[in-house]
């Protein structure tokens, strides 16, 4: 395939999940030209909703919570702007991944995808293009996409999950300083098997319509109608625990759906009508590093961000993206 070159920009942001969008928000306040690239057909990454028929399911991230003040303030700002609303302070059962009990848990009325969509509004975003390789050149960074296009920028923000970032650089023969490569290699993610189930009527889940179950095999059940996501009732999201997801990753969709629904049926109190299974290979970071970003100036500015840096979940992803965006803004504005 012939390579086409597109107009260069000052900075390319790879990945338009929470980390990429946070970095882009900071960079959009500078005078640099910036473009976001994502392989998905929507922005948001793991902050996602899927429509099946007339029903809508939050099928990745389920709620936003903050452990630390800066993200709590960010959530409060989004609440004031009407982007998110409070869902509950806690849910029946205990969350094995989150000790932040009895703090506000936020939802997005109409589906999780709407928050990243509004954050990306007005930005130069290229969707549906997978970055295959990042190469170093004399004039900056070259990013090769799967549609045969080559993008060029003087500076690069990479916000893919850490194992994918390492692979992307290696594919272009870009050798990272050991201080960055070794730290990225410390970040690992757990898998999550998710079932989007249609049932034959409103569920019997107690208020607020979602609960922790497990931790294994089933971790979480959520009624998307009670949550204000799906207009029609009977749209349920089931998420497996990390150990079940690892062990039964290769099991066919029918096996996963029947096993997980079997664990949920008594609580849901309805019959399974149809389902889809979503396999999240990198759901949430289980091994993390304390650094909120990893960066180098040579030969051109390059910074990595994403969940697993400074913690896990959306809070760490957002704060990491902001921290990377600030680092980059200082480089770009100075020169
Ligand atoms: C099932 C599930 C439930 C969760 N529940 C919660 C929860 O309740 N609360 C919470 O706080 N967190 C939760 N999380 C975790 C949270 O969603 C993530 O920590 C956070 O969204 C990560 O953001 P990110 O920007 O670092 O990564 P991502 O969202 O993964 O963004 C990376 C982006 O890079 C893109 N990309 C990847 N490779 C390429 C490539 N080669 N070329 C171009 N683009 C590429 C992807 O399409 C993606 O959009 C959950 C996650 C899952 C999967």
Whole-number pLDDT of residue 282? 97
Let me know: does 222 contact 210? Beta carbons within 8 Å.
yes
Tokens of 65: 């919570």
- Using the predicted structure, report yes or no on whether residue 99 has a pLDDT greater than 70: no
276-298 average pLDDT score = 97
Q: What angle do CA 85, 123, 299 make, to 5 degrees?
A: 120
Whole-number pLDDT of residue 155? 97
Whole-number pLDDT of residue 32? 93
- Using the predicted structure, report yes or no on whether residue 109 has a pLDDT greater than 50: yes
- For the Cβ of 283 lying below 6 angstroms from any atom of ligand 1, the answer is yes
Nearest-angstrom CA–CA distance, 188 and 158 = 17
The string of pLDDT tens digits covering residues 132-143 is 999 999 999 999
Q: Whose CA is nearest to atom 13 of ligand 1?
A: 61
pLDDT category at 98 given cuts 50, 70, 90 is: low
Instruction: Select 4-45+118-187+288-334's CATH number: 3.30.2010.30, 3.40.50.300, 3.40.50.720, 3.50.50.60.
Output: 3.50.50.60
End-to-end CA distance of the chain: 36
Burial class (CB in 10 A: 0-12, 13-18, 19+), 297: exposed
Q: Which atom of ligand 1 is nearest to the CA of 145?
A: 42
Q: What is the pTM of this model?
A: 0.96
Q: Which of 24, 160, 165, 304 to mutate to test the pocket of ligand 1 (most atoms within 8 A of CB)?
A: 160
Whole-number pLDDT of residue 3? 57
- Domain boundaries, given as residue ranges, for the chain: 4-45+118-187+288-334, 62-111+188-286
Query: 225: CA distance to ligand 1 center in Å?
Result: 23
- Using the predicted structure, report yes or no on whether residue 6 has a pLDDT greater than 90: no
Query: 138: CA distance to ligand 1 center in Å?
Result: 32
Whole-number pLDDT of residue 53? 95
Whole-number pLDDT of residue 150? 94
pLDDT category at 243 given cuts 50, 70, 90 is: very high
Give me the percent of the chain exceeding a pLDDT of 70.
Answer: 96
Whole-number pLDDT of residue 102? 74
Give bridge partners of residue 287 from the DSSP assignment.
188
CA distances 264 to 77, 209, 240, 255, Å, are 35, 13, 11, 14
Whole-number pLDDT of residue 216? 94
- For the Cβ of 106 lying below 6 angstroms from any atom of ligand 1, the answer is no
Please state, rounded to an integer, the average pLDDT across all residues of the chain. 94
The CATH fold assigned to 62-111+188-286 is: Polyamine Oxidase; Chain A, domain 2 (3.90.660)
- For the Cβ of 115 lying below 6 angstroms from any atom of ligand 1, the answer is no
pLDDT category at 1 given cuts 50, 70, 90 is: very low
Query: 15: CA distance to ligand 1 center in Å?
Result: 9
167-189 average pLDDT score = 96
Let me know: does 203 contact 270? Beta carbons within 8 Å.
yes
266-278 average pLDDT score = 97
Nearest-angstrom CA–CA distance, 108 and 291 = 29
- Using the predicted structure, report yes or no on whether residue 296 has a pLDDT greater than 90: yes
- For the Cβ of 190 lying below 6 angstroms from any atom of ligand 1, the answer is no
Q: At what angle do helices 69-80 and 313-334 cross, to 10 degrees?
A: 90
Nearest-angstrom CA–CA distance, 198 and 235 = 5
């Amino acid at each position: 395939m012939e390579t086409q070159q597109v107009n260069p920009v000052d900075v390319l942001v790879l990945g338009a999940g929470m980390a990429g969008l946070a970095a882009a928000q900071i960079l959009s306040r500078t005078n640099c030209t910036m473009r976001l690239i994502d392989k998905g057909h929507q922005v948001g990454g793991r902050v996602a909703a899927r429509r099946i028929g007339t029903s809508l399911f939050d099928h990745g991230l389920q709620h936003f919570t903050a452990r630390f003040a800066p993200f709590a303030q960010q959530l409060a700002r989004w609440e004031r702007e009407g982007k998110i609303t409070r869902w509950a302070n806690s849910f029946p059962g205990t969350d094995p991944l989150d000790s932040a009990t009895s703090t506000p848990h936020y939802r997005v009325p109409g589906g999780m995808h709407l928050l990243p969509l509004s954050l990306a509004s007005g930005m130069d975003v290229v969707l549906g293009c997978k970055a295959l390789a990042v190469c170093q050149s004399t004039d900056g960074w070259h990013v090769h996409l799967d549609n045969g296009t080559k993008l060029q920028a003087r500076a690069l923000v990479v916000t893919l999950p850490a194992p994918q970032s390492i692979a992307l650089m290696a594919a272009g023969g870009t050798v990272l300083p050991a201080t960055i490569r070794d730290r990225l290699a410390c970040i690992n993610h757990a898998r999550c098997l998710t079932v989007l189930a249609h049932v034959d009527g409103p569920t019997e889940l107690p208020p607020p319509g979602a609960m922790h179950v497990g931790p294994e095999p089933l971790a979480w059940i959520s009624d998307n109608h009670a949550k204000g996501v799906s207009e029609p009732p009977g749209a349920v999201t089931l998420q497996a625990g990390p150990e079940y997801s690892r062990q039964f990753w290769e099991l066919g969709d029918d096996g996963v759906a029947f096993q997980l629904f079997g664990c949920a049926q008594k609580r849901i109190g309805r019959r399974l009508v149809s389902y889809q299974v979503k396999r999240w290979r990198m759901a949430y970071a289980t091994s993390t590093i304390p650094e909120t970003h990893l960066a180098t100036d040579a030969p051109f500015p390059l910074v990595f961000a994403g969940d697993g840096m400074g913690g896990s979940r959306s809070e760490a992803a957002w704060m990491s993206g902001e921290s990377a965006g600030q680092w980059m803004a200082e480089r770009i504005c100075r020169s």
